[in-house]
Structure 1
Amino acid sequence: MLTDIEIASQCRMRPIKEVAAQLGIDESEYEPYGHYKAKLTQPLFDRLRGRPDGKLVLVTAVNPTPAGEGKTTTTVGLGQAMQKLGENCVIALREPSLGPVFGVKGGAAGGGYAQVVPMEDINLHFTGDMHAITAANNLICACLDNHLQQGNQLGIDPRRVVFKRAMDMNDRALRQIVVGMGGPLSGIPRQDGFLISVASEIMAILCLADDLHDLKQRVGNILLGYTFGRQPVYVRDLHISGAVTALLKDAIKPNLVQTLEGTPAILHGGPFANIAHGCNSVRATRLALKLGDYCFTEAGFGSDLGAEKFLDIKCRQAGLAPSAIVVVATVRALKYNGGVKKDALQQEDLAALQRGLPNLVAHVQNMQQYGVPVVVALNHFYADTGAEIAAVGACLDELGVPWAVSDVFARGGDGGTDVCRLILEACRQPSHFSPIYSEQLPIEEKIAAIAQKIYGADGVDYSAAAQKQIAQIAALGYGKTPVCIAKTQYSLSDDPAKLGRPTGFRLQVKEVRLSAGAGFVVALAGDIMTMPGLPKVPAAESIDIDDEGNITGLF
């Protein structure tokens, strides 16, 4: 089979004006970025405000292997399949981060015959949203350090600055740094560090903001640190909320592209689900719901991460309610959760598969707790055997959960029609969506609700530092906000070695951060890092470009 980039290069893309016209978007309501990309503008939002919403379908997954399980590929393929069935469907996805593209996992444009295009643009610089987010984040840092240098009228304690710099690349050397070295003219020395841009609060704010006004208000509410008198200092105190928002004036506009089969796709925002809230922007999802009878969107990693945050943070803040949830499972992920090493996943192993099936059961039951109909899509890989597929099916039949094999990677939309028929049936059933915790609960009780109801933990243990941080956040008046837990994606627990459906463990919360602008509290569990590192042999070593500008090795 051809590589992803070879398949994408053979696609005859429609001019973006044709994709927009298919959705009834006037030329005055979008800004072209070349021939095949466009920014959707505020007049389109204003015109569609009173139009009824379509059905919202969330695509999530089991705990993945390190290479990922094709959740975005499945989302894209199912959107194409809905089009095959004659349904008006719009896909809403996140934008890729350069860190995974040049690291180990790859991009986020789908794969095989279920991709969004232009694939090279989307996986690299796209329309510049990631760069704008990075620049906005670092403008705050530059102004903060300049304030310290120029007399520090606010009395900011350099030891209690909590806002970090950002870069959209996996660079472990920047996790902990010292700035201001080089003498009096180079600033005030202090400890600092970098986040990957997709984990920054600016990214979260962009993805949760209603409009430019809301964006500027949220930017102003970002907590920078504390004074020597232990009083909070926010971005608004530096009088730069407008300047930071100005850098994001184009980034807040969702991006319109298409799939290999011409299905409209809106890509916007890109927070990681293991270290951030893991969903595309509220603005993109709302537009997709207005423009399509069905909106298919995905949330990062397994249901314990992206889906939980989609349902408990994004839906709560935006007033959204899904009509159906699709859990993507793969035979290889279940064998991995049954103890098979990554390099042996292509071999049939029914015993390991049986050991891993409780992981799938946990994710299905997780989603059922929210009162939404659930469908399972078994994403087909070439090494899957009939006996392995039958074993997964028998498990799901016993649970009474509708399921079908998805073969969109190899067959495009034609490979997803069986799953889509189940989704259509699920969307005809009543949905009684409700978050699993009340945001009025104390922070510790909200964390405990997620840990026990979603992860299966016996309880939660807090470091001394985390306990002090929770008390401080509550004292600032932010105790009644949702919680975003950052933890490993490879396990339902906070320990990546605990595979399957672990029991008899307690969630270890080491740090708690306030994202006041985003409107949630971040709890860091286990050994999670907010700046990833590159593998021993990064994907960057296989990527090349010829004299004519043709890229190879991107996948």
Structure 2
Amino acid sequence: QLRIDVHSIQWKRVLDIESRFLRHIVVGLGGKAGGIPYESGFEITTASEIAAIHALALDLMDLKRRMGEITVAYNVDGEPVKARDLKAEGAMAILMKEAVKPNLVQTIEHTPAFIHGGPFANIAHGCPSLAAIKLALKLADYVVVEPGFGADLGLEKFCDIACRVGGLKPDLVVLVATAKALKRHGGVRRRDLKTPNPEAVERGLPILGKEIENVKLFGLLPVVCINRFPFDAEEELDVILDYCGERGVPAAVSEVAARGGKGGVDLAKEVLHQLERRRADFRFLYPLDLPVEEKIRTIATKAYGVSDIELLPEARRAVRRIRRLGLEGMPINMAKTSLSLTDDERRKGLPSEGYVLRVTDLRPMTGAGFIVAYCGEINTMPALPTHPAAERMDIDEEGRITGLI
């Protein structure tokens, strides 16, 4: 009845286990009883459109409406087939009726926290749920939200996607930096990151400067939080503090991982001080009425610092389809590596002059309400590393377990 084109089915299955073998599969084998064979694949659960909708829905009925808008496939005429056409949104809403409620927990120091929603910021929009944020704003004087990864990914998506949907206006950004990460961007090999190297930290500082610039692009106030590791040398931390001080950017060292709340007092005082003396002028990075390609170019050139973008053939075909379906007005969700400002995880530091970001494909997530732009070799089903964590795990005859951390 729906005349679905089996070559245009968009909906993939999801799994919470990494497996490169499930990225591209053929389903429907086994004759007539097995269904119609077609190519498909698995995604990691946090890349699913359901995960994004869960984090963007304001209540159960909004969740149900958005799930009904999911484009499951296209028919033989190229028109979208939605989840509501399959009469599936009611059943999905029943499954999610408890999950939509914010989950209140407490830290070991009895501080209340909502842990609710977890779409990854490299392949999804990377923000906790709007329902939890809005509830927290009614319960506390200050609310700290944690978008994933850096100011080029999580912050940009929080501002340009979540804040648009939820009508939020953030005041200040705590930008987390580590000497370890800056040394990595300064050319230090992974196995040498625990060795003190103030010169490498200094070489990596331009990446911190770019993230500070990104915060200011949104009209927000930056405060740099230097997350201290046990192996950090004082000279390395001083390099970061001096860099921020020379640029008039407030910064503080945080030791909450080792000392709990006491280790974050200096940072908290600095945040409160900045909120009392200055006001933010929040703004979006781009207007929604820009063409899709220009919105992607704006993010790539302003937030990543690349020179331009290149839409590969599959992406160009997707742009034409998006335009034909009247979906150009949605914000962009960039899916790219979190390990580089470029689309190549091996490139550290700032993008080289003339670097062009490759956009391989585009997919409108009509339930979540954004267009995903896939960059470089990003994949929505991660693979295990050469030496997975399981190799370090063991249990002895007395039941003692080791290697989990």
Normalised by the shorter chain, which TM-score bucket? over 0.9
User: 1:361-376, aligned counterparts within 5 Å?
Assistant: 361-376=209-224
- CA deviation vs aligned residue, 1:366-387 (integer Å, no higher than 9, x gap): 1011111110010001111121
* Alpha-carbon distance in structure 2 between the residues aligned to 1:259 and 1:477: 46
* Alpha-carbon distance in structure 2 between the residues aligned to 1:252 and 1:272: 18
User: 1:303-318, aligned counterparts within 5 Å?
Assistant: 303-318=151-166
Structure 2 counterpart of 1:482: 331
Structure 1 counterpart of 2:350: 501
Structure 2 counterpart of 1:344: 192
Q: 1:191 to 1:265 in 2, by over 3 A?
A: same
Structure 1 counterpart of 2:144: 296
Structure 2 portions without partners, runs of 5+: none
Structure 2 counterpart of 1:165: 13
Structure 1 counterpart of 2:71: 223
Q: Kindly indicate whether the alpha-carbon contact (under 8 Å) linking 1:328 and 1:378 is maintained by their aligned counterparts in 2.
A: yes
Q: How far has the Cα of 1:545 moved from its partner?
A: 7.2
Letter of the 2:105 partner, please give it: V
Q: How far has the Cα of 1:501 moved from its partner?
A: 1.3
Q: How far has the Cα of 1:218 moved from its partner?
A: 0.4
Q: How far has the Cα of 1:497 moved from its partner?
A: 1.6
Q: Indicate yes or no: 2:387 matched with 1:537.
A: yes
- CA deviation vs aligned residue, 1:337-383 (integer Å, no higher than 9, x gap): 01101110011222221210000000011101111111001000111
User: 1:188-337, aligned counterparts within 5 Å?
Assistant: 188-337=36-185
- CA deviation vs aligned residue, 1:477-508 (integer Å, no higher than 9, x gap): 21001000000101111111211112321110
Q: 1:336 to 1:156 in 2, by over 3 A?
A: same
Q: The residue matched to 2:176 in structure 1 has which SS?
A: strand
* Alpha-carbon distance in structure 2 between the residues aligned to 1:392 and 1:166: 41
* Alpha-carbon distance in structure 2 between the residues aligned to 1:548 and 1:161: 51
* Alpha-carbon distance in structure 2 between the residues aligned to 1:547 and 1:247: 41
Q: Kindly indicate whether the alpha-carbon contact (under 8 Å) linking 1:323 and 1:426 is maintained by their aligned counterparts in 2.
A: no
Higher RCO (CA-CA < 8 Å; seq separation 6+): 1
Q: How far has the Cα of 1:541 moved from its partner?
A: 3.8
Q: 1:280 to 1:547 in 2, by over 3 A?
A: farther
Letter of the 2:365 partner, please give it: S
* Alpha-carbon distance in structure 1 between the residues aligned to 2:150 and 2:16: 23
Letter of the 2:302 partner, please give it: K
How many pairs were matched up? 403
- CA deviation vs aligned residue, 1:484-536 (integer Å, no higher than 9, x gap): 00001011111112111123211100000010000000000010010001112
* Alpha-carbon distance in structure 2 between the residues aligned to 1:518 and 1:380: 37
User: 1:44-443, aligned counterparts within 5 Å?
Assistant: 153-428=1-276, 429-443=278-292
Letter of the 2:20 partner, please give it: R
Q: The residue matched to 1:355 in structure 2 has which SS?
A: helix
Q: The residue matched to 2:143 in structure 1 has which SS?
A: strand
Q: How far has the Cα of 1:472 moved from its partner?
A: 0.5
Letter of the 1:527 partner, please give it: E
Q: 1:190 to 1:361 in 2, by over 3 A?
A: same
Structure 2 counterpart of 1:554: 404
Residue 361 of structure 2: which of 511, 534, 550 is its match? 511
Letter of the 1:277 partner, please give it: H
Letter of the 1:481 partner, please give it: M
* Alpha-carbon distance in structure 2 between the residues aligned to 1:255 and 1:551: 29
Q: Kindly indicate whether the alpha-carbon contact (under 8 Å) linking 1:335 and 1:356 is maintained by their aligned counterparts in 2.
A: yes
* Alpha-carbon distance in structure 2 between the residues aligned to 1:552 and 1:477: 55
Report the RMSD for the aligned CA atoms in angstroms.
Answer: 1.5
Q: Quick one: percent identity of the two aligned structures? A: 48
- CA deviation vs aligned residue, 1:141-177 (integer Å, no higher than 9, x gap): xxxxxxxxxxxx2110101111111111111111000
